[in-house]
Structure 1
């Protein structure tokens, strides 16, 4: 797979800078190749917000206004299926697309984050539902609803794309609420015997500790898990751990800047290993809340929809 080579490299080989390994299993620095992957998938995620990628015909190019997704446009990425728009009638109104990248031989499933009140109602309903595919696992009910409303469209589009391009790799990406839904999409695609890398930005916690362990254990044999956070972004700190939620491991934390910093080097990424790790983003706390950090992931990731506000 295009991305799996990063996943399969032992940690001691791909870390650029080393710090003494403390109890919280935190290290500093990643390879430039992995940072480039994060930048590429951030471009794909940014494109999921853009109105130009709503309701277009199959085979049409994925485009963005201005210079929001230059890496996607340079590869002449084309649409397989799109979902969500101003006229959408679903409960959660999850927006995104499935597309083909012929340059990198990728099938990309991209989910946008929260764009309206219905999205945030889904985000802040903390009720958990059982997740049938693993013992004692439960997931956020709103995220489960979001995925269920897009499941048939996404699975059919991926199946169609694989029939035409069986040698392509599958990558799922998303921001915010779209990151949570993307995690569920990746896990289900893996259950169908596909190897799937998942790149998320500013993801809230998706399920309980058992679910976080389950997803974490799928890497690297079923695809890599690449969860990025940014300084004190408040969204990855929700839903709170005191109601039973935990994050998957590892976390890639953009650190050393402020809420609007977008230019980071590989040496600026801190890696926190372990489900429930209290370092990295979780260590910044929710007070004071700064929603600006949620918008800036190697660029203004939601530029097509306007800034997130808490």
Structure 2
């Protein structure tokens, strides 16, 4: 893979830091006995408490940075990626996974429609199921295929004699976008009665550079500012809301086109559910696209669900909370795999009397945690302090290794190999 001069310099710095990071991290961890989120003992805050928290936070940030530097070096410099296996390997893994859940009936079932007055808990429990996890993880994985023609072939695939369908089997790809380093597509699936917009994650040098650009900027006034007095407008108290520049750029290059195409497809299939999904960088763009749709289309494009996988933090806490609140009451499901570092990369939630400096995921989004990347189970989390979920895991164990693996399913380009089973 060709590496630009700027990227080479950035990688040199990251790798140099990665060499120092493990030793420094070990020293900090030994001195402070660091874990990601230490249970707080009821006591009066003191100067030592503050120092302790800052040591924990610094050690965690250092580890996350070192882990990312190592990944960037292997992925971009040495072009090391996971082996995709053979078409038979991918098919066997998929069939086995589906057999352990509700079978193909669950994968292809009609997208649940929710009553307008349903509670958020009821909505989440209906939408957060393993078959739906796999469905939209598959949609997300298909964005990594080389071209739209490959994804079209996936819509004609059934596996084995029993005719096990893929989540995309029978769908129509009504829009495919691969321009300016970005990618997304819109699919209409009659069996699932759903119109689905899915954004691609990082797939080239520019994507990785954008994902690493976390300079905080004001939200784009054209894309995200509602009319004055609107209930969707950014409240004055949140005037310091900031979005990361790289994610903002990635969204600006495509979301107007994407949402227009989604709206056009929905107009032709008005009784179908509307879903937005994405993996990694694609999850970040999915969040910003859903925000744009809610502000500019409102009731003309009712969103039924947003599914993101390994979504990074897209801005400071004020922006994260505001954006997800605006997207609501649409359920925003944020899937996190085992020890995936990406959802925590820029995390910094220390209280420093300036809340706008906090960096964390939105409190209004529901985390769905897959504690074992290779086992078909998941946990619907009860807030970020849920001890069963990702926010409470040891930060020194976070890596990129399982960033694309969710409850036994690999959301990678390997799904594209299944075109070998295309049926005429």
Name the TM-score class by shorter chain: 0.7 to 0.9
CA change 1:279–1:118 in 2 (3 A) is farther
Return the TM-score normalized by structure 2.
0.57
**Partner SS for 1:172:** strand
Q: Deviations over 1:140-164 (max 9, x none)?
A: 1111111111123212211321231
In structure 2, C-alpha distance between the alignment counterparts of 1:35 and 1:127, rounded to whole Å: 36
**Displacement after TM superposition at 1:77 (Å):** 1.0
**Displacement after TM superposition at 1:47 (Å):** 1.2
1:105 aligns with 2:189: no
**Displacement after TM superposition at 1:198 (Å):** 0.6
In structure 2, C-alpha distance between the alignment counterparts of 1:209 and 1:286, rounded to whole Å: 20
- Asked if structure 2 preserves the Cα contact closer than 8 Å seen for 1:2 and 1:169, the reply is yes
**Partner SS for 2:210:** helix
In structure 1, C-alpha distance between the alignment counterparts of 2:328 and 2:113, rounded to whole Å: 7
1:23 paired residue number? none
- Asked if structure 1 preserves the Cα contact closer than 8 Å seen for 2:138 and 2:167, the reply is yes
**Displacement after TM superposition at 1:2 (Å):** 3.7
2:376 paired residue number? 264
1:24 paired residue number? none
1:118 aligns with 2:216: no
Q: Deviations over 1:18-57 (max 9, x none)?
A: xxxxxxxxxxxx669633222211111111111242698x
1:227 paired residue number? 334
Superposed, 1:285-304 pairs within 5 Å as 285-298=394-407, 299-304=409-414
Q: Is the deviation greater in 212-221 or in 131-140?
A: 212-221
More strand by share: 1
**Displacement after TM superposition at 1:175 (Å):** 0.5
1:150 paired residue number? 254
CA RMSD of aligned residues (A): 3.2
2:138 paired residue number? 43
In structure 1, C-alpha distance between the alignment counterparts of 2:269 and 2:346, rounded to whole Å: 38
**Displacement after TM superposition at 1:9 (Å):** 4.4
In structure 1, C-alpha distance between the alignment counterparts of 2:415 and 2:249, rounded to whole Å: 22
**Displacement after TM superposition at 1:73 (Å):** 3.2
**Displacement after TM superposition at 1:269 (Å):** 1.4
Gapped regions of structure 2 (runs ≥ 5): 1-109, 226-233, 350-356, 417-424
Return the TM-score normalized by structure 1.
0.76
More helix by share: 2
Q: 1:127 aligns with which of 198, 215, 228?
A: 215
In structure 2, C-alpha distance between the alignment counterparts of 1:14 and 1:108, rounded to whole Å: 18
- Asked if structure 2 preserves the Cα contact closer than 8 Å seen for 1:65 and 1:304, the reply is no
Gapped regions of structure 1 (runs ≥ 5): 16-29
